[in-house]
Amino acid sequence: MIFFATIAPVFGQTLIIGTVKNIDGETLPGVTIRVKGQATSVSTDDEGGYSIQVPQGSQVLVFSSIGFQEQEIIIEGRTTINVVLEPGSTLLDDVVVIGYGEQSRQTITTSISKLDTRVLENVPYSNAASALQGTLPGVRVQATTGQPGAAPRVIVRGGTSINNPNGATPLYIVDGVFRDGMNDINPEDIESIQVLKDAAATAIYGSRASNGIVIIVIKSGKSGRTDVRYSYDLSLSSMDIGYEPLSAKDFVYFQRLGIAAVGEKFPAELLKLSGELSVGTGNDLTDRTAYTTQYLTEENQHKLNQGWESIADPTDPSKTIIFNNTDWQNVLFRTGVSHNHNIAASGGSEKATFSTSLGYLNNQGIAINTSYKRLTFSLNGDVKIKDNLDVYGRLMYSNSSNNGTSGENIFLWAMGLAPTAKYTFEDGSLSPGPPGNGNPEYRLDKLDNKNSTDNLTMVVGGKWHILPDLVFEPQVSRFTYTTDARSFSGAYLNGPTTLIDTRSASSSHVKRTQHQADAVFSYNKSFMDSHNLEAKLGFAYFETVNQSLNASGRGAASDLIPTLNAAAEMVAIGGQESKQVVAGYFSRINYDYQQKYMVSLNGRYDGASNLGNNYKWGFFPGVSIGWNVHKEHFWNALPEGLLSFKLRASYGVNGNIGGLGPYQAGGQYSVGARYGGNPAIVNSILANPDLQWEQSKTVDVGSDIGLFNGRINILFDYYRRITDNLITSLTLPHSTGFGSIATNLGSLENKGIEFDITANLLPKTSPLKWDISFNAARVKSKVLKLPENGAENNRIGGIYIWDPNKGDYAWLGGIQEGSPVGNLYAYRQLGIYTTDEEALQGPTDMLVPGANKTKYGGDVNWFDTDGNGVIDERDRVYMGNIYPVWTGGLGTSIAYKGITVLLRMDYTTGHTIFNYRRASTVTQMSGDQNLSQEVLRSWQKQGDVTDIPRFVWADRLAGNINRGNSEYYEPGDFLSLREVTIAYILPSTLTRRIGMNNLRVNVTGHNLHYFTNYQGVIPEDGDQDMGRYPMPRNIIFGLQASF
């Protein structure tokens, strides 16, 4: 065998050897060499050398490497071929991984975006999906939280859903294994990421393809090149934007005046002034009260020397109130210090290659108690057993863990707690704070939670050249996902005097086991040098089993043991199992004539277990065509390389069953409930045996343009996707007694354009490299059709308001034909009444609570849309839509010798955010919430001109904010300065001396700033902002060494 493999000729094969260099004469390792029309490929070794067995009759060798132009060399009987590769664009000559195979960008006829992996180089992402933000046109990536490890929302081309467009996530495929997302994958292990966007590209994945496919390839070894790499990142994270809460002094002033004002109408409220509340004077220095405010006395005046402050009681200036100011944001937020280590080795001979890596990330959040730890292993091995048979095995494992603390809760805590609340008692111990959301540091200290998730992927596969042109590729994989979680709350004080010693404890174990088996036959043939044909036929089987166990108990005798065994009393137990099977047959035929005219046919016949019994199977075809105009003769009129131009068009049908439970179609009766000790069964889900595939049909036309020998590359796409039979949770009439039912209804249109340009501004020969890139995507969605239900536009839900376009009242919002989903409506604030007299002139406000509708100076002057002199529910107006319209990014990098400077930005526009967090802190909604500094410019006396209404306790009594005030519906448009990196590669003469091949250091700023008018902490997500965990601003020091 060894003899056959190394000594030519065998079975009429020829051995070709040679060396590959760049234009500077340096040898190039890692260049891929393959025989055109065949699957055989080898790579160059460290010295750029290669050797490849070529079957007789083969004509052409293809040399390709990222960053270089692909070259096709006609063999012409030679046995030694040396090649010089010219630096090329990274775009049009790139090899792109598509479903069950790969293809050169030259011949691709569909819409596929490939990630420039430079974005993965400098930032140690806790979730690699974040790297897609602003880098791939048409892929909307939104961070909704700064929590370590949290997955961003990834939506391709707007998603195909009416009632949850934000849940229409793409399908992720990691080395052929289906996954829900990119969680817990070490970005360092990623070789490439590509997103298949149009229906012809994704049709080969049929049933789950309509929301796009993200294909991730994990690094594997290259023959002839051994490499050991180590990298380390140190990240310092801090808060970029926080809130500006009112100081304790201002808080006492406004809150006391607000209570006094309300007391005129509701005298009982006045008790708050003397009670043990946030500004009440009933507090004292003992550990029986939660707040610090109290009248100055001889016993407490020493506190003024210990940093406490004082203010004349605004309701009775003859008295002095003292208090202590705690900035809870300071208590809760910190500088996070994170470490990321990776070590990887790869290499191999012509017979066998391997790649292995070990990674450890310890990511500390900027809010106390939040963290994310990830340990990853990967092992990839490929062995050539016979000349025509390769087998491989892949193993990927990760463990991630955290302590179950939600940063969102901490953030709400920080904003919800009055600055006058006690942080510590007089003896220095932590105060439990007021009841409910108490002192977070105290409460977090009483929690003992642990979450741990294991992901294990095992893949075995092979590649068998049955005939030189016919390859059979089977692959079997098992993916398991296991989460173990436990939580325990020790005895704690809820408020200074109430001891809660329930000591709740719970544990859960969730396991998902997924098996996949794929078998693909490929036939690859070039005829007469001109006709290139690739045909695939395959079968895929997917099966997933979800199991869970959970239990909770309480009543442990002490705080010593956090696990369930200490619980004296059982509270609940649970255990579930479910299964889903999807199976399909697929085929693809790619044909091109001299790479000039391309056509591709795709199809998949898919069946899924969770659909209605009447509609298990569906067929999903796709067709695409392309024309490389620059390969035509008439193009020779132009100077060579000046302009390359490809036109492409595609049409396809995709399916989708996302979000559908495994047995939803059959209806469900839930168990577990009891009534007076008797087990009860409740009808919880309505059956729908007619539930069928959601089908989206996409037309995509696009163009790939290269200018000046590929120095400028442009990709452009226009698409229109119509999704019919949307699997939608249809909101039912209340008189059915059910909230909703899963059904197929209506159709949705997503229409958009995508544009991507990359340019090398300086000639290839210039020692200074400067490239820029820019991309933009626009998507608009609209409901086209809904089932007849007797309402105008077959509307489901909505509100009845004045429609200025119609000049009449109408039902707007909800879901209706001809309109987008996600519209927001609220009352428009025209201004703030400057005086009581002015307020009396305004329209009658029916939303003022109580019988007395009088408005005063400082109240909001609302827009009376219907002009009837009355403000009521019908006066709500359109505020915007929660979904973005434009998304994209821009970047540039400048490299000179070893130094690279890289800058990346991304932007999103068109979405509106209801900034509830801000609205709820410009007035006292109820109780003792902390307030924002905007209160300082609130209306305070007759004649004040401002945009913030008078401060009241509580807004519900005045109705200035809570009803939905236009001032707090803010555009979320933003431009993010996502990454700035300076990297330096030490000269090889220097690094060789210390035994390294390569040493790179970088300093990176990540999430540096949002340029936005939005007044919350994260402007990325539309809809309602209840208070979000701020995005950490990271300063990263990185080091990469290879040996």
Using rule CB under 8 A, residue 871 touches another protein? no
Out of 82, 164, 429, 576, the only residue in the binding site for another protein (CB under 8 A) is: 576
Using rule CB under 8 A, residue 558 touches another protein? no
Gap between the Cα atoms of 329 and 171, Å rounded: 39
Where are the strands (E) in 678-739, listed by range?
678-685, 694-707, 712-731
Out of 499, 830, 840, 899, the only residue in the binding site for another protein (CB under 8 A) is: 499
Site for another protein in 953-992 (CB under 8 A): 954, 956-957
Site for another protein in 596-655 (CB under 8 A): 607-610, 613, 616-617
Contact segment (CB under 8 A) with another protein among 498-506, 694-702, 751-759, 990-998 equals: 498-506
Out of 47, 102, 529, 873, the only residue in the binding site for another protein (CB under 8 A) is: 873
Contact segment (CB under 8 A) with another protein among 299-307, 308-316, 432-440, 505-513 equals: 432-440
Site for another protein in 245-264 (CB under 8 A): 262
Gap between the Cα atoms of 927 and 934, Å rounded: 18
Nearest distance from C-beta of residue 671 to another protein, angstroms:
7
Nearest distance from C-beta of residue 740 to another protein, angstroms:
10
Gap between the Cα atoms of 349 and 224, Å rounded: 5
Gap between the Cα atoms of 31 and 434, Å rounded: 66
Using rule CB under 8 A, residue 4 touches another protein? no
Contact segment (CB under 8 A) with another protein among 149-157, 197-205, 230-238, 786-794 equals: 786-794
Using rule CB under 8 A, residue 671 touches another protein? yes
Quick one: CA torsion of 145, 147, 149, 150, rounded to 10 degrees?
-30
Out of 285, 395, 549, 791, the only residue in the binding site for another protein (CB under 8 A) is: 791
Nearer of residues 265 and 531 to another protein, judged by Cβ: 265
Site for another protein in 741-760 (CB under 8 A): 741, 743
Out of 180, 577, 632, 837, the only residue in the binding site for another protein (CB under 8 A) is: 577
Site for another protein in 826-865 (CB under 8 A): 849-851
Pick left, alpha or beta for residue 271 (phi over 0 → left; psi -120 to 50 → alpha; otherwise beta). alpha
Nearer of residues 432 and 752 to another protein, judged by Cβ: 432
Site for another protein in 382-411 (CB under 8 A): 389
Nearest distance from C-beta of residue 328 to another protein, angstroms:
19
> Between 897 and 926, how does the x/- string for binding to another protein read (CB under 8 A)?
-----------------------------x
Gap between the Cα atoms of 240 and 335, Å rounded: 11
Out of 12, 67, 763, 797, the only residue in the binding site for another protein (CB under 8 A) is: 797
3-class SS string, 839-893: HHHCCEECCCCCCCCCCCCCCEEECCCCCCCEECHHHEEEEEECCCCEEEEEEEE
Tell me which residue of 444, 367, 440, 441 sits closest to 407, measured CA to CA.
367
Give the number of residues in contact with another protein, rule: CB under 8 A: 110
Nearer of residues 634 and 675 to another protein, judged by Cβ: 675
Nearest distance from C-beta of residue 579 to another protein, angstroms:
6
Gap between the Cα atoms of 503 and 364, Å rounded: 28
Site for another protein in 149-188 (CB under 8 A): none
Tell me which residue of 481, 278, 228 sits closest to 1042, measured CA to CA.
228
Contact segment (CB under 8 A) with another protein among 82-90, 93-101, 273-281, 763-771 equals: 273-281
Site for another protein in 508-537 (CB under 8 A): 519, 521
Using rule CB under 8 A, residue 670 touches another protein? yes
Q: For 41, phi and psi rounded to 5 degrees?
A: -150, 150
Nearer of residues 349 and 498 to another protein, judged by Cβ: 498
Site for another protein in 286-345 (CB under 8 A): 288-290
Radius of gyration of the chain (CA): 32
Out of 404, 814, 843, 971, the only residue in the binding site for another protein (CB under 8 A) is: 814
Gap between the Cα atoms of 922 and 934, Å rounded: 6
Nearer of residues 232 and 738 to another protein, judged by Cβ: 738
Nearer of residues 342 and 506 to another protein, judged by Cβ: 506
Gap between the Cα atoms of 281 and 296, Å rounded: 10
Tell me which residue of 290, 292, 269, 266 sits closest to 281, measured CA to CA.
292
Site for another protein in 355-374 (CB under 8 A): none
Element at 936 (helix H, strand E): none
Gap between the Cα atoms of 838 and 829, Å rounded: 15
Nearest distance from C-beta of residue 611 to another protein, angstroms:
8
Q: Is residue 12 packed enough to be buried (19+ CB in 10 Å), middle (13-18) or exposed (0-12)?
A: exposed
Using rule CB under 8 A, residue 555 touches another protein? yes
Q: Count the neighbouring beta carbons within 10 Å of the beta carbon of residue 834.
A: 18
Nearer of residues 539 and 1043 to another protein, judged by Cβ: 539
Nearer of residues 49 and 964 to another protein, judged by Cβ: 964
Using rule CB under 8 A, residue 416 touches another protein? no
Nearest distance from C-beta of residue 692 to another protein, angstroms:
13
Using rule CB under 8 A, residue 1009 touches another protein? no
314 cis-preceded (ω within 30 degrees of 0)? no
Nearest distance from C-beta of residue 318 to another protein, angstroms:
18
Contact segment (CB under 8 A) with another protein among 341-349, 662-670, 880-888, 1008-1016 equals: 662-670
Out of 593, 663, 718, 755, the only residue in the binding site for another protein (CB under 8 A) is: 663
Distances (CA, A) of 729 to 163, 487, 664, 697, 796: 7, 33, 11, 21, 11
The encoded tokens of residue 200 equal 């012809």
Contact 857, 833 (CB under 8 A): yes
Gap between the Cα atoms of 180 and 214, Å rounded: 10
Nearest distance from C-beta of residue 236 to another protein, angstroms:
39
Nearer of residues 671 and 768 to another protein, judged by Cβ: 671
Site for another protein in 16-55 (CB under 8 A): none
Contact 842, 860 (CB under 8 A): no
Which residue carries 């060494």 as its tokens? 1041
Using rule CB under 8 A, residue 379 touches another protein? no
Contact 200, 625 (CB under 8 A): no
Nearest distance from C-beta of residue 783 to another protein, angstroms:
16
Gap between the Cα atoms of 1017 and 1031, Å rounded: 7
Site for another protein in 679-738 (CB under 8 A): 679-683, 686-688, 730-738
The set of residues, in sequence order, having a beta carbon less than 8 Å from that of 975 and lying 6+ positions away, is: 905, 906, 907, 1010, 1011, 1012
Contact segment (CB under 8 A) with another protein among 100-108, 158-166, 494-502, 1001-1009 equals: 494-502
Element at 1011 (helix H, strand E): strand 998-1012
The encoded tokens of residue 836 equal 């009581």
Using rule CB under 8 A, residue 495 touches another protein? yes
Nearer of residues 632 and 690 to another protein, judged by Cβ: 690
Out of 580, 865, 893, 915, the only residue in the binding site for another protein (CB under 8 A) is: 580
Nearest distance from C-beta of residue 130 to another protein, angstroms:
35
Out of 17, 572, 784, 830, the only residue in the binding site for another protein (CB under 8 A) is: 572
Q: How many helices (H) and strands (E) does the chain have?
A: 11, 56
Nearest distance from C-beta of residue 729 to another protein, angstroms:
11
The set of residues, in sequence order, having a beta carbon less than 8 Å from that of 652 and lying 6+ positions away, is: 198, 199, 200, 201, 202, 203, 602, 620, 621, 622, 623, 624, 697, 698
Element at 826 (helix H, strand E): strand 823-827
Q: By three-state DSSP, how is residue 119 classified?
A: helix
Using rule CB under 8 A, residue 1 touches another protein? no
